[in-house]
């Protein structure tokens, strides 16, 4: 039966992560950006939310334990506090979810235990590639059959926290189709480059990872003999980024409202100027639109309906609107918007970066 | 959270789909100079009455079907998809006003007649300048022995010419109240406006001491209740209309060849279609969320319907604009339906106030919540 009500459990998750974001993450966001590094203390704090561990440790029959909708809720709240940390969470979450959803019994038991401990454990889905014209329907990275296993060759780009990952889920062409391979960071032939720096999400230390003829046993092909549904991993990633963009946009709106009520221009508060008031109304409408469209995509993933179309629309729409909202938010602050005394310029850079994280949005 | 429409919802939508595909004929409107009078407005209504739709939102206590708002958008969406010309909007507006303002006896009497298919309604509330603000200045009510007499004028009255009774908002004692008048009452004139959307009948009413019966409700309760539901109706029409505009454009873009390829293969076209698809999904979810919120009595309902109406009417305008662009010159001719959708979209974005009006409401609600 149609319902737009969040369960009590999800409401608790939402308010808990929101409070964590407000009190713990938001105050540190500027420092992380300046340092271009998420320090271990913040990662430990992030880990202490228990979100990843709950998903990694959930039994297969535990209803709702691995819920794309709940993940979208969590990532929106983290995105509202600091999109950089939210992507760090989403990255590991994407890896864990792919293993939990699509891994063989042995892969789940062998790998997921590593994500149930007390210390931050990074991992990433290595999908993007450093070439013009890249799109997720075709990968230059290849996994060639060799004896009982595979040999993986290629370069992956913009991998979050690459140097601190224990594993990568490498998406590669294999036997004419996209497939996924679990590769340990320590495997021979894996090299993580120095981060090159970026406009936004600076603390994420996104880096290229080279796989130079890395031997991967068949047991580490995701899903083993059955292979994996790569599109589902892509859909999940899009829903994750759209959720973070929704949170980022909401953060901008919530920051702009009190300022425009206090800031007086030509004798009246900015908020009473229609151009500002209507911008804020549009932000509110667009954030809701982003959220509902994305929750619909997340729900389709959750009930295992085809989600590709909705997930793509949700990501593209969220990318466009978040850039506009970040821009309007910065504009509302005028000169204060592009100085570091306020987080608007940081959020603006992060929105711009998230919007191209999967290549050229909309193409 | 569950985005699944129930089997009942889908059955309702599918049966409305089949019925309207069969019965709606827009061809008389696809010629130069066509007017709403050519649309067989009342002919379609008779068939709609046979399906019981006039009583769909009337509670079962008054003999109606008592459907919820998610049910309602299944039918209204199909009406919007097909641009079905019939006095449903006016009758729904009248039913909700009577529900909010009428006494038990008035509800039993008037709503019973609607359910029986013997009464169509219209709501005259906007002044000649398009304002819905209370108390309004267009019509005043004078107490006389046995009732009231109304004098003045109202405009933008949907379905006034087809209505058997019109509910008129009039000022009495400095306040806006609601009165029922007979369409055939002495002193009442209804003039059809040259409304550009010729699939919808919109008129002005002039009243000169027209005998009227007072509905007992206060305005503070009545108009927000009715307006929220009419927002939902327009938002549902717009979401479905935008989808129709997309489907038609996609179909055409696959067939029409230019420079040796279907025009849909060109990014300049396909990106526009993708844009409409994205907005269409948002519009669908917005209207479903608003319908659910109204059905559940959720406190976010007023915000949800204002957002849905503001967003969906703009999305519909955008979709129909791009639809004509994709069709090119042929989309600009009388014999194609494209212009009917374009005009419906444009008029839906004005009928209850422009999107700026809904943005104002969003701001007010957000401000109240933040306080």
Q: What DSSP assignment string belongs to B321-355?
A: HHHHHHHGGGGGSTTSSHHHHHHHHHHHTTTT--H
The end-to-end CA distance of chain A, in Å, is 35
- pLDDT of A360 > 70? The answer is no
Of B131, B125, B173, the closest CA to residue B152 belongs to: B125
Q: Is B257 on the interface with A (CB under 8 A)?
A: no
- Tokens representing B329 are 């010159």
Please write the tens of the pLDDT for every residue from A26-36: 999 999 999 99
Of B68, B130, B123, the closest CA to residue B101 belongs to: B123
Please write the tens of the pLDDT for every residue from A57-79: 877 666 556 799 999 999 999 99
Q: Is B289 on the interface with A (CB under 8 A)?
A: yes
Distance from CA of A309 to the nearest CA of B (A): 9
> Mean per-residue pLDDT for B232-251?
98
Closest residue in B to A286 (Cα) is B311
pLDDT band of A362, cuts 50, 70, 90: very low
Nearest CB neighbour to B277, from listed A277, A295, A313? A313
Please write the tens of the pLDDT for every residue from B150-183: 999 999 999 999 999 999 999 998 999 999 999 9
Helix (H, G, I), strand (E, B) or coil at A3: strand
pLDDT band of A214, cuts 50, 70, 90: very high
Which residue's structure tokens are 């009248």? B94
Strands (E), chain A: 122-126, 142-146, 149-159, 165-174, 177-184, 190-192, 207-217, 264-265, 268-269
- pLDDT of A357 > 90? The answer is no
Among B68, B231, B283, B285, pick the best mutation site for testing chain A contact (most A Cβ within 10 A). Answer: B285
Q: What is the mean pLDDT of chain A?
A: 92
- Tokens representing B341 are 């959708």
CA–CA distance, B48 with B79 (Å, rounded to integer): 11
Name the region of B122 (left: φ>0; alpha: ψ -120 to 50; beta: rest). beta
Helix (H, G, I), strand (E, B) or coil at A119: coil
Among A8, A286, A289, A320, pick the best mutation site for testing chain B contact (most B Cβ within 10 A). Answer: A289
Instruction: Answer yes or no: do A285 and B359 touch at CB < 8 A.
Output: yes
- pLDDT of A363 > 50? The answer is no
Taking contacts as CB-CB distances below 8 angstroms, the residues of chain A near B311 are 285, 289
The Cα angle at residue B254 between residues B337 and A135, in degrees rounded to 5: 130
> Percent of chain B beyond pLDDT 90?
90
Instruction: Answer yes or no: do B3 and A281 touch at CB < 8 A.
Output: no
Taking contacts as CB-CB distances below 8 angstroms, the residues of chain B near A3 are 1-2, 292
> Among A185-199, A226-240, A247-261, A345-359, which stretch is predicted with the lowest mean pLDDT?
A345-359
CA–CA distance, B38 with B239 (Å, rounded to integer): 26
> Percent of chain A beyond pLDDT 90?
83
Of A270, A249, A279, the closest CA to residue A354 belongs to: A249
Determine the topology of domain A230-354 in CATH: Butyryl-CoA Dehydrogenase, subunit A; domain 3 (1.20.140)
Distance from CA of A241 to the nearest CA of B (A): 16
> Percent of chain B beyond pLDDT 70?
100
Instruction: Answer yes or no: do B1 and A316 touch at CB < 8 A.
Output: no
pLDDT, residue B292, reads 97
- pLDDT of A161 > 50? The answer is yes
Closest residue in B to A303 (Cα) is B2
Please write the tens of the pLDDT for every residue from A295-348: 999 999 999 999 999 999 999 999 999 999 999 999 999 999 999 999 999 999
Of B226, B52, B41, B224, the closest CA to residue B123 belongs to: B226
Instruction: Answer yes or no: do B6 and A5 touch at CB < 8 A.
Output: no
Distance from CA of B330 to the nearest CA of A (A): 28
Please write the tens of the pLDDT for every residue from B188-210: 999 999 999 999 999 999 999 99
Instruction: Answer yes or no: do A284 and B310 touch at CB < 8 A.
Output: no
Q: Is B369 on the interface with A (CB under 8 A)?
A: no
Of A98, A150, A86, the closest CA to residue A124 belongs to: A98
CA–CA distance, B201 with B45 (Å, rounded to integer): 13
Per this entry, what is the length of chain B? 371
pLDDT, residue A18, reads 97
Q: What is the mean pLDDT of chain B?
A: 95
pLDDT, residue A361, reads 41
* Sequence-separated (6 or more) residues with CB below 8 Å from residue B89: B158, B159, B200, B230, B233
Nearest CB neighbour to A313, from listed B278, B307, B362? B278
pLDDT, residue A320, reads 93
- The CATH number assigned to the domain with range A8-120 reads 1.10.540.10
Helix (H, G, I), strand (E, B) or coil at B68: coil
- Tokens representing A273 are 């100027």
Domains in chain B (CATH in brackets) are 7-115 (1.10.540.10), 121-217 (2.40.110.10), 221-370 (1.20.140.10)
Distance from CA of B4 to the nearest CA of A (A): 5
Nearest CB neighbour to A288, from listed B70, B288, B307? B307
Of A316, A161, A159, the closest CA to residue A241 belongs to: A316
pLDDT, residue B320, reads 98
Per this entry, what is the length of chain A? 363
Taking contacts as CB-CB distances below 8 angstroms, the residues of chain B near A5 are 1, 296, 298
Instruction: Evaluate the CA torsion angle B345, B348, B351, B355 in order and state its sign.
Output: negative
Nearest CB neighbour to B2, from listed A1, A285, A313? A1
Instruction: Answer yes or no: do A2 and B6 touch at CB < 8 A.
Output: yes
> Mean per-residue pLDDT for B27-41?
93
Domain boundaries, chain A: 8-120, 124-226, 230-354
pLDDT, residue B371, reads 76
ipTM, interface predicted TM-score of the complex: 0.71
Instruction: Answer yes or no: do A285 and B307 touch at CB < 8 A.
Output: yes
Taking contacts as CB-CB distances below 8 angstroms, the residues of chain A near B310 are 281, 285
Distance from CA of A280 to the nearest CA of B (A): 7
Helix (H, G, I), strand (E, B) or coil at A22: helix
pLDDT, residue A61, reads 60
CA–CA distance, A110 with B256 (Å, rounded to integer): 55
pLDDT, residue A28, reads 97
Which residue's structure tokens are 């409202």? A257
* Sequence-separated (6 or more) residues with CB below 8 Å from residue A91: A122, A123, A124, A125, A160, A161
Please write the tens of the pLDDT for every residue from A104-126: 999 999 999 999 988 999 999 99
Burial group, residue B65, by CB count within 10 angstroms (0-12, 13-18, 19+): middle
Closest residue in B to A70 (Cα) is B1
How many Cβ pairs closer than 8 A exist between chain A and B? 92
Instruction: Answer yes or no: do B285 and A289 touch at CB < 8 A.
Output: yes
Of A88, A358, A86, the closest CA to residue A247 belongs to: A86
Nearest CB neighbour to A292, from listed B2, B271, B289? B289
Determine the topology of domain A124-226 in CATH: Butyryl-CoA Dehydrogenase, subunit A; domain 2 (2.40.110)
Q: Which residues of chain A are at the B interface, by a Cβ-Cβ cutoff of 8 Å?
A: 1-7, 10, 69, 257, 277-278, 280-282, 284-285, 288-289, 292-293, 295-296, 299-300, 303, 309-310, 313, 316-317, 362-363
Helix (H, G, I), strand (E, B) or coil at B88: helix
Please write the tens of the pLDDT for every residue from A76-101: 999 999 999 999 999 999 999 999 99
- pLDDT of A272 > 90? The answer is no
């Amino acid at each position: 039966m149609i319902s737009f009500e969040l369960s009590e459990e999800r409401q608790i998750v939402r308010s808990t992560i929101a409070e964590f974001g407000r009190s713990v993450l938001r105050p540190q966001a500027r420092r992380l950006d300046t340092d271009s590094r998420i320090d271990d203390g913040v990662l430990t704090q992030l880990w202490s939310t228990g979100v990843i561990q709950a998903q990694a440790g959930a039994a297969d029959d535990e209803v709702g334990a691995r819920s794309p909708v709940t993940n979208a809720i969590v990532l929106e709240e983290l995105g509202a506090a600091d999109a950089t940390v939210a992507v760090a969470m989403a990255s590991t979450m994407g890896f864990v979810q792919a293993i939990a959803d699509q891994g063989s019994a042995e892969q789940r038991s062998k790998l997921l235990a590593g994500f149930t401990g007390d210390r931050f454990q990074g991992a990433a889905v290595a999908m993007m590639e450093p070439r013009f014209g890249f799109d997720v329907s075709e990968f230059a990275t290849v996994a060639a059959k060799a004896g009982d296993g595979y040999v993986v060759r290629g370069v992956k780009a913009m991998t979050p926290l690459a140097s601190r990952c224990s594993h990568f889920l490498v998406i590669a062409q294999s036997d004419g189709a996209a497939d996924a391979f679990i590769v340990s960071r320590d495997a021979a032939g894996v090299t993580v480059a120095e981060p090159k720096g970026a406009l936004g999400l600076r603390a994420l230390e996104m880096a290229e990872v080279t796989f130079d003829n890395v031997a991967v046993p068949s047991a580490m092909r995701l899903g083993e003999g059955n292979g994996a549904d790569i599109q589902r991993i892509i859909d999940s990633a899009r829903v994750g980024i759209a959720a973070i963009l929704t949170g980022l946009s909401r953060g901008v709106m919530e920051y702009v409202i009190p300022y425009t009520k206090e800031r007086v221009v030509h004798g009246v508060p900015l908020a009473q100027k229609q151009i500002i008031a209507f911008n804020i109304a549009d932000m509110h409408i667009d954030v809701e639109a982003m959220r509902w469209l994305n929750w619909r995509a997340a729900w389709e993933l959750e009930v295992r309906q085809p989600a590709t179309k909705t997930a793509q629309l949700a990501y593209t729409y969220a990318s466009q609107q978040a850039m506009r909202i970040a821009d309007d938010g910065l504009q509302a602050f005028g000169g204060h918007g592009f100085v570091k005394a306020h987080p608007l310029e940081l959020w603006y850079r992060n929105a711009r970066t998230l919007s191209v994280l999967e290549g050229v949005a909309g193409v | 959270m569950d985005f699944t429409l129930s089997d009942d919802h889908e059955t309702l939508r599918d049966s409305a789909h089949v019925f309207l595909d069969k019965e709606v004929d827009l061809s008389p409107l696809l010629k130069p100079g066509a007017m709403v009078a050519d649309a067989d407005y009342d002919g379609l209504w008779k068939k709609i009455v046979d399906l019981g739709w006039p009583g769909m939102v009337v509670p079962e206590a008054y003999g109606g079907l008592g459907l919820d708002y998610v049910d309602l958008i299944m039918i209204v969406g199909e009406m919007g998809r097909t641009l079905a010309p019939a006095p449903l909007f006016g009758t729904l507006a009248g039913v909700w006003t009577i529900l909010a303002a009428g006494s038990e006896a008035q509800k039993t009497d008037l709503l019973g007649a609607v359910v029986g298919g013997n009464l169509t309604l219209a709501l005259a509330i906007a002044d000649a300048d398009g304002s819905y603000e209370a108390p309004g200045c267009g019509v005043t009510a004078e107490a006389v022995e046995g009732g009231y007499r109304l004098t003045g004028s109202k405009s933008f009255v949907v379905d006034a010419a087809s209505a058997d009774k019109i509910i008129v908002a009039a000022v009495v004692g400095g306040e806006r109240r609601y009165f029922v008048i007979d369409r055939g009452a002495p002193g009442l004139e209804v003039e059809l406006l040259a409304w550009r959307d010729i699939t919808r009948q919109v008129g002005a009413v002039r009243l000169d001491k027209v005998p009227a019966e007072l509905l007992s409700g206060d305005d503070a309760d009545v108009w927000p209740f009715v307006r929220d539901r009419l927002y939902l109706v327009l938002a549902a029409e717009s979401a479905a209309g935008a989808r129709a505009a997309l489907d038609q454009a996609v179909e055409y873009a696959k067939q029409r060849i230019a420079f040796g390829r279907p025009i849909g293969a060109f990014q300049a076209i396909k990106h526009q279609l993708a844009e409409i698809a994205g907005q269409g999904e948002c519009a669908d979810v917005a209207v479903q969320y608003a319908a659910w919120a109204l059905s559940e009595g959720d406190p976010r309902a007023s915000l949800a319907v204002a957002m849905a109406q503001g967003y969906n009417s703009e999305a519909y305008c955008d979709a129909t604009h791009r639809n004509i662009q994709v069709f090119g010159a042929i989309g600009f001719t009388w014999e194609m339906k494209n212009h009917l959708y374009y005009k419906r979209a444009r008029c839906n974005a004005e009928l209850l106030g422009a999107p700026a009006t809904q943005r104002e409401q969003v701001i007010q609600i957000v401000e109240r919540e933040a306080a």
